[in-house]
Amino acid sequence: MSDTQVPETTKADWTSDQEPRWCPGCGDYGILTAVQMLMPTLGVRRENTVFISGIGCAARFPYYMDTYGMHSIHGRAPAVSTGLAVARPDLDVWVIGGDGDMLSIGGNHLIHALRRNVNLNILLFNNQIYGLTKGQYSPTSEPGKVTKSTPVGSIDEPFNPISLALGAEASFVARTHDMDRKHMQAMFARAHAHKGTSLVEIYQNCNVFNDGAFAQITKRDKRDAMLINLVHGEPIRFGVDNERGVAMDSSGRIELVDVVDVGVENLLVHDETADDPSVAFAISRLATAPTMPTPVGVFRAVERTEYAAAVSDQVDAVTASQGAGTLEGLFASRPTWTVS
Amino acid sequence: MLYLGWSERVTSNWVLWQRSQAHASGLLILEGTNVTDTASAPSDTSSLDHIIIRFAGDSGDGMQLTGDRFTNASAMFGNDLATMPDFPAEIRAPAGTLAGVSAFQVQISDHDITTPGDSPSILIAMNPAALASELHRLDLGGTIIANEDTFDERNLAKAGYPINVNPLEDGSLDNYTLIKVPMTSITKEACAPLGVKPRDADRSKNFFALGLVSWMYSRPTDTTLDWIKAKFAKNEQVVAANTAAFKAGHAFGETAELSGHKVEIKPAALEPGNYTNIDGNTALSWGLVAATKLSGIPMFLGSYPITPASDILHELSSKKHFGIRTLQAEDEIAAVASAVGAAFGGHIGVTTTSGPGIALKGEAMGLALSLELPLVVINIQRGGPSTGLPTKTEASDLMMAMYGRHGESPMPIVASYSPAQCFDAAIEAVRIALKYRTPVMLLSDGYLANGTEPWKLPDPASLPPIDVEFATAPNAKNDEGEDVFWPYLRDPETLARPWAIPGTPGLEHRVGGIEKQDGTGNISYDPDNHAHMVQIRDDKVSVIADDIPLTMVDGPDDADLLVLGWGSTWGAITSGRRRAEMAGYKVAHAHLTHLNPFPKDLGDVLRRYPKVVVPEMNLGQLSKLVRAEYLVDAQAVSKVKGQPFTAGEIYDVIVGALQ
């Protein structure tokens, strides 16, 4: 918007005057704080920042940011945001939604935003439950889950959001969790820096309807053993003593191994920039539930044409070749005849 | 409610009069005879004030293109005209079958006309199926030009004729003038010296038909020949074949065989100016282009392909040099949602669709209404419900436009009434959306979308600018006396809220579909506030009545009957009313361009006449609305056949109502 230096801001500048209305103890508070504290470090202006959400608990998020914001309708935030980003490529657009919002009613918009690669930062708050409607199973709930709408257990196969995003041609895919502010901020900063659609899945605890869904991997004393931290260019290792790792066997299958059994040199080296997403996809399949060692970090970060910029390029190219449109020119573009 | 079925073709006095005129002009002197057997026909050119031609053939025969080219040549010649394509939804139904028949009707005249005509007096039938499916429309005594090469056993069977029955030979067409022409074989002969394979030459037979008809109606040939050259520039052989076929058709007419059929329709006395022949979807697209120019607000179109609206997406996609950004969205919901997002960013948000798409967009329209952002939702109506009749016209989405969203969610509605007028209607829809910060529904239909008429190109300088300003500064103080921005602080006159777009420092704010406090825009569940907001949103639409024209009325104040219309029935009602007036009836015609709010004087207009009838391509939706609103006994007249009303049908409605 202007050439002058971006003014220094603090968390308070990014905090609106509206009081958050999430349940006490909700994981959303931690995510909100992480974002509000991160924004002053990104070198961006409040007036050029927009948060857009759909419907659900997470979707109240924009009201608490002192930026431009829209609380839209269920599932449509990626579509609303696509229109805004295409119309206004100068803006930073953040998209906020939960697993029901983004993966169920809005699943179609999510995958199409990812394949188009519009410059959006999508934060997917995954708590594996419907919170705002008071506790029905979601498209990420585990099979067998007993909820109000599944009194004898869910028979639905859940989505793995990371696998889904990779299958939808996503150029940036990461996972983090609401118990680790630093890790969240690192992932959000990477997502913001990425040109294109960035998807960050956040394991978020719903302490009312699905409390402890991620406790087996995100509790401070469990993390070393249960979170597989993906670091670009490094062998994939985890464990209290870094004693475990990820390796690819001779058939190309990816598995968890004891480092001592295979040797460090035979561990899989993480390459988030790999053209082919199949290794990232295989890594995303290591854990089928957040009760097993689970990869977190950036799964994939590749450069691909950003959609809104491409739209602008076409507008500019056609304008350059045809000249800026005039109504006189428009009216002369069809065969005409004159009556005198 | 009066429901008239139109299963029987209307034979009004007017049609009979037309026929007598045609006889008098010598057109039908060969009625009932087979012209190719008649060598001694008179050779003078007769003159007619108008003619209605219907081109019909298989979907693969290029009938739409043939009709379109004939229309263009007529436009260049200076006739007034109106067209109506009539084609199946299938891209290629099985060749030669009744389901695959594609037709194009055009009326050309030397005077002002408003419809493509009731029943054609000339039918070009490229195959037996075309004859079988279209003959019922032809005036008794009309002329059939049939491609006799296609009337073989196989094609006759496909068209449903019994074994050993050939309508060209059995005398069943004796009440018509039958002209049998071996179009396929002559085309092949004409193309043979060019080295064109017979199978390829077969594809040029529509140009033979075009050449023949161009000769019969004294159309200029240069327009068509130039067009062939330009259109097929990439393939010289196709240019050569089509040119040869066209010239062969023209020459065929010129040889003795068809003399006596040459007819002239003089140019119409149109207002001086530059004209183009335009269809409704193009005119509508151009109206949108003009609106972005006139307002200086950039335009964003989110759209999902759907018949018969897709051409607007195509046209606007080619207008990038006007700064227009188009998104072919993943679905109808994303199409409208993206337009809402763009509107939040300071663009004119536009989405185009047909009825099924409107059904899907309902929730997002409600969002735009709650956010109070400018959005134009364009519905090119087609036959419903469900998939219905994708390529056929209907105007049965009026109630959906009025009430098709949950909650109290009024939207202004603008309806176009002729192909060219779609230009003005689009500008008007954008004007209302921008000025009042509201979603607006623009209704057109399949008949307007694909039909064409001459349009006098406006002087761009004469088009009124659309003034709209973004908010740039805080507009309120908080409890601490600091400057703040209230997104729902309204203009007292228009009730519009300020449009503050991202990128504007100091005006950061949040909006949402959840109920908000008037003024601050903060979430509010206060009962009184909700009642207030529901009323404000209703008032916002009502106040527009002060900003739109009074009811358009044609005809005397002391008429015995008022015909009330909206949308594409305008042409048929206008012509039907003229006929009734010529026959001595006192009848007036009011036509609505704005359906929400209604013009301020509509109640007075309706009460001025002893009787009111409302012809509609639905089961009486406008009549229900005006009965509810004004307590007048407005009688519905329905037609839901996928075809527009004809002027003759309207004439009969008028006569019926006054008897």
Closest alpha carbon within chain A to B74: A337
Q: What percent of chain A has pLDDT above 70?
A: 99
The alpha helices in B489-582, defined as continuous H runs, are 527-542, 570-582
Q: Report how far apart, in Å, the C-alpha atoms of B476 and of each of A68, B489, B522 are.
A: 18, 8, 14
Cα separation of A201 and A296, whole Å?
Answer: 9
Let me know: does B637 contact B629? Beta carbons within 8 Å: no
Task: Answer whether residue A156 is part of any domain.
Answer: yes
Cα separation of B348 and B338, whole Å?
Answer: 11
Taking CB atoms and an 8 Å cutoff, what residues of chain A touch B513?
71-73
Task: Answer whether residue A330 is part of any domain.
Answer: no
Cβ <8 Å between A339 and B270: yes
Best interface-test mutation with B: which of A45, A61, A76 has the largest number of B CBs within 10 A? A76
Looking at residue A157, its pLDDT comes to 97
Instruction: Please give the DSSP secondary-structure letter assigned to residue B389.
Output: B
SS3 B501: coil
Cα separation of A237 and A263, whole Å?
Answer: 11
Closest alpha carbon within chain B to A89: B345
- The model's pTM is 0.91
Let me know: does B385 contact B451? Beta carbons within 8 Å: no
- CB of B29 within 8 Å of a chain A CB? The answer is no
Let me know: does B185 contact B148? Beta carbons within 8 Å: no
Task: Answer whether residue A230 is part of any domain.
Answer: no
Asked whether the bond before A290 is cis by omega within 30 degrees of 0, the reply is no
Instruction: Please give the DSSP secondary-structure letter assigned to residue B523.
Output: B
Let me know: does B497 contact B372? Beta carbons within 8 Å: yes
Cβ <8 Å between A315 and B323: yes
Give the CB-side neighbour count of residue B555, counting CA atoms within 13 A. Answer: 30
Best interface-test mutation with B: which of A13, A65, A80, A326 has the largest number of B CBs within 10 A? A80
Within 8 A by CB and 6+ apart from A149, the residues are A136, A137
Cβ <8 Å between B344 and A80: yes
Q: Which residues in chain B come in under a pLDDT of 50?
A: 1-43
Do strands B46-48 and B263-265 pair parallel, antiparallel, or not at all (unpaired)? parallel
Q: Which two tokens stand for residue B210?
A: 């075009």
Task: Answer whether residue A270 is part of any domain.
Answer: no
Cα separation of A32 and A58, whole Å?
Answer: 10
> pLDDT for A16-71, tens place per residue?
999 999 999 999 999 999 999 999 999 999 999 999 999 999 999 999 999 999 99
- Residues comprising chain A, all counted: 340
> pLDDT for B133-150, tens place per residue?
999 999 988 999 999 999
**A52: β partners:** A70, A95
Task: Answer whether residue A232 is part of any domain.
Answer: no
- CB of B329 within 8 Å of a chain A CB? The answer is yes
Task: Answer whether residue A255 is part of any domain.
Answer: no
Cα separation of A129 and A139, whole Å?
Answer: 8
> pLDDT for A235-285, tens place per residue?
999 999 999 999 999 898 999 999 999 999 999 999 999 999 999 999 999
Looking at residue A239, its pLDDT comes to 97
Task: Answer whether residue A153 is part of any domain.
Answer: yes
Q: If 0-12 CB within 10 Å is exposed, 13-18 middle and 19+ buried, where does residue B219 land?
A: buried
Cβ <8 Å between A76 and B333: yes
Radius of gyration of chain A (CA): 22
Q: Which domains does chain B have, with CATH numbers?
A: 31-265 (3.40.920.10), 276-462 (3.40.50.970), 469-547 (no CATH), 552-658 (3.40.50.920)
Closest CA to B128 of B91, B98, B162: B98
- CB of B507 within 8 Å of a chain A CB? The answer is yes
Task: Answer whether residue A253 is part of any domain.
Answer: no
Q: If 0-12 CB within 10 Å is exposed, 13-18 middle and 19+ buried, where does residue B95 land?
A: middle
Asked whether the bond before B120 is cis by omega within 30 degrees of 0, the reply is no
Within 8 A by CB and 6+ apart from B416, the residues are B280, B284, B422, B424, B425, B426, B442, B443, B444, B448, B567, B568, B593
Closest CA to A98 of A204, A21, A1, A23: A204
Cβ <8 Å between A80 and B341: yes
Cα separation of B208 and B216, whole Å?
Answer: 12
The alpha helices in B95-176, defined as continuous H runs, are 128-134, 153-158
Describe the strand order of the beta sheet including B587-592 as a list of residue ranges.
B552-554, B587-592, B561-566, B612-616, B634-638
Let me know: does B159 contact B37? Beta carbons within 8 Å: no
Domain tally for chain A? Answer: 1
H or E segment and range at residue B634 = strand B634-638
Best interface-test mutation with A: which of B332, B338, B367, B377 has the largest number of A CBs within 10 A? B338
**Domain span at residue A195?**
11-222+301-314
Closest CA to A177 of A37, A281, A27: A27
Looking at residue B257, its pLDDT comes to 64
Within 8 A by CB and 6+ apart from B161, the residues are B128, B132, B167
Cα separation of A330 and A222, whole Å?
Answer: 67
SS3 B470: coil
Cα separation of B651 and B643, whole Å?
Answer: 17
User: What CATH number has the domain bearing residue A79?
Assistant: 3.40.50.970
